[in-house]
Amino acid sequence: MPIPDYQTIMLPLLEAAGDGNEYKIRELIQPIIDHFQLTETDKKTLLPSGTQPVIDNRVYWANTYLKKAGLLQSEKRGYVQITPLGLEVLNSNPPKIDNAFLRQFKAFQEFIGSSTGSSQDVTIPEEQSSQTPEEALQNAWKSLNTTLAADLLQKIKSVDASRFEQLVVDLLLAMGYGGSRQEAGNTVGKSGDGGIDGIINEDRLGLDKIYIQAKRWENTVPIKEVRDFAGALLAQKATKGVFITTSDYPKSAYDYVKSIDRTIVLVDGIRLAELMIEFRMGVSVKETYQVKEIDTDYFEA
């Protein structure tokens, strides 16, 4: 089954803590995984940011909302225990617990009021959502970046050949390759030797070299171009190469580079744009949102 949303997790989580013992919240993740018969793939599925498993995040948020309603409590950080009210709720055998169910409790109503700046009866945005607030934020970020990458790629395709070569140099430098700008600028776009557009240092000391092919294409790159690049690497006795394009590659090209005895990385147009966003090239920061949490060390000092 799919990974349950955080509201679906609320009742099983309360049941897992129903014996009255104090648990580390992390100890209750496995019972939830077992309850919903999640697979290893489900357990390893990460948030868009890649910082945390989705199931962990949803268990933590279910715990947060149950605590806000007074059904669970934490006497110390990272621990959780059912409350008398929580036991009362369990004994009533509710078919499910979700945000709508929690609205009957005064503590949760106050939480909603403090979250919205109003004590009026309100609908919290995530009440009808399967996403936790953190997931919603990260998915919105991912959607914005996807749109930005598509727009950025169109801009990349509009530049001339020399500007595209400079763009490639700037990106490689931003990623930590190429040594100095002068060294990098004097290599990419200057070779033209047997399908190689340039040679750049893998590190600042020049202990190894990376051979570059950088081409602006509108249509899918023919696999012949990738084979020619691999042949050029062989002729140079080189073991590492990067083929960068503004278009894309056929599946056969990816299969081919996996089958040969040298390392060739294929960077298509979307990946190129994503790397430029990641290393802040050709983009600027419009807004910055910080997600904060309580610093318990401050209060314990």
Mean pLDDT by 10 residues, the chain (301 residues): 92 96 94 95 89 92 93 89 96 95 92 56 50 80 84 90 84 80 57 66 76 89 93 88 94 95 93 94 81 66 54
Architecture of domain 148-278: 3-Layer(aba) Sandwich (3.40)
Handedness of CA 223, 224, 225, 226 (dihedral sign): positive
As annotated, the residues of the chain forming the CATH 1.10.10 domain(s) are 6-131
pLDDT at 121: 42
**What share of the chain in percent tops pLDDT 90?**
50
6-131 has CATH 3.90.380 classification: no
Chain centroid to Cα 181, Å, comes to 31
> Which residues are registered as beta bridge partners of 242?
212, 265
Whose CA is closest to 111, among 74, 56, 65?
65
The token pair that represents 40 in the structure block: 């290893």
Spatial distance between the Cα atoms of 169 and 186, rounded to a whole number of angstroms = 10
Nearest Cα residue to 165 out of 180, 150, 187? 187
Plot region of 57 (φ>0 → left; ψ -120 to 50 → alpha; else → beta):
alpha
This model's pTM is above 0.75: no
Identify the pLDDT of residue 142: 81
For residue 109, give the nearest of 153, 175, 65 by alpha carbon.
Answer: 65
Q: Where in the chain is the domain with CATH 3.40.1350.10?
A: 148-278
Q: Is 95 helix (H, G, I), strand (E, B) or coil?
A: coil
Query: Within 13 Å, how many C-alpha atoms sit on residue 276's CB side?
Result: 28
**Integer Cα distance of 94 and 98 in angstroms:** 10
Query: pLDDT tens, 228-266?
Result: 999 989 888 888 999 999 999 999 999 999 999 889 999
What pLDDT is attached to residue 125? 44
